[in-house]
Chain A
Amino acid sequence: MNPKVNIIALVDVVGALSDGGLGNGNLGLVDDSAFESTGRGTPDLCTVVQPGQVVQWSALAVDVQTPVEIRDIVFLGPDGQPAGPARPDPEPGENLDVNVWSGVVPYLAPGVPHRYRLELQMHEGPHAVLHVDSPALMCP
């Protein structure tokens, strides 16, 4: 078993900002899990992981000269809303690129997708942050 699983968010930044959303093919999530993840290439990626593995997220702009960074990743509670204390908003102009979005998979009830909110920041402004609640981690 590979000790690390990478999840990459491929973002059509201009498409996402134009549409005001990450649907419509503007976001594709892929991973390199050795298990049978589902929804690869879509915002509905369910990455199959095992406790003890390290998962690392990163974001890449399909249009290479546009900016995209992960602003937040929050796991959802049973009500489908982000659970736990909110992380403070980044300061304006803060270099989000220093953030490493990685962590060790804890024990998870098997067969249950643990969905998370992936929040992406593209440039700055009132419409610069978009999110999806559809991706998940799941233990086999």
Chain B
Amino acid sequence: MPSKSKKSRPGTDRPISITAVVDCVGALASRSLHGNLYLYDTNRAAGSTGLGTEELRTRVRAGDRLLWNVISLECETYAAIDAIVVDPEVCEPERHTYPGTDITYWTATVKPGAPDVAHYQVRLRLGTRTEPITTTLRPALVG
């Protein structure tokens, strides 16, 4: 009888990607991400909701690997995640760089015993602005 939950070796599956699409010029003109941010993930089939909004709710389970990255609507404009602010009991995001580039992404592994709903904030660096801009509304990881 096939096992219900297909176990694979850790680190060999594709992580759940969470992508922030940001209208950089709009965000800089209003100094706010509100109305200028669209969040998506690759876990809609498992029950993620709020795709395309600032309040994405990503369905996660303990042990899931998460990867955050960012896409700018103006393709030549710099945008990078400066920090992901989340309860360290839930996960501890770390910054990485694509080998051979200076382009960053963030990863984390969902810890066991995390609460059912864990809100977090994303802080973005945009354009040449030295001060990062933080999300106004809070996306969440939901169990």
Residues of A within 8 A of B (CB): 13-15, 17-19, 63, 65-67, 122-128
Contact = CB atoms under 8 A, between A and B. Distances in A.
Nearest to B74: A65
18 contacts: A14-B24, A14-B74, A14-B77, A14-B128, A17-B28, A17-B129, A18-B126, A18-B128, A66-B25, A67-B25, A123-B25, A124-B29, A125-B26, A125-B29, A125-B31, A125-B32, A126-B29, A127-B28
Interface string B30-57: 1110000000000000000000000000
A86 to B, nearest CB: 22
Chain B CB within 10 Å — which of A66, A122, A126, A127 has the most?
A66
Interface of B: 24-26, 28-32, 74-78, 126-129
Contact of B129 (A18, A122, A124, A128): A18
A95 B30 CA distance: 19
Nearest to B32: A125
A16 to B, nearest CB: 9
Contact of B31 (A13, A19, A65, A126): A126
A14 B127 contact: yes
A13 B32 CA distance: 17
A128 to B, nearest CB: 4
Contacts of A127: 28-31
Contacts of A124: 26, 29-30
Contacts of A67: 25
Contacts of A13: 25
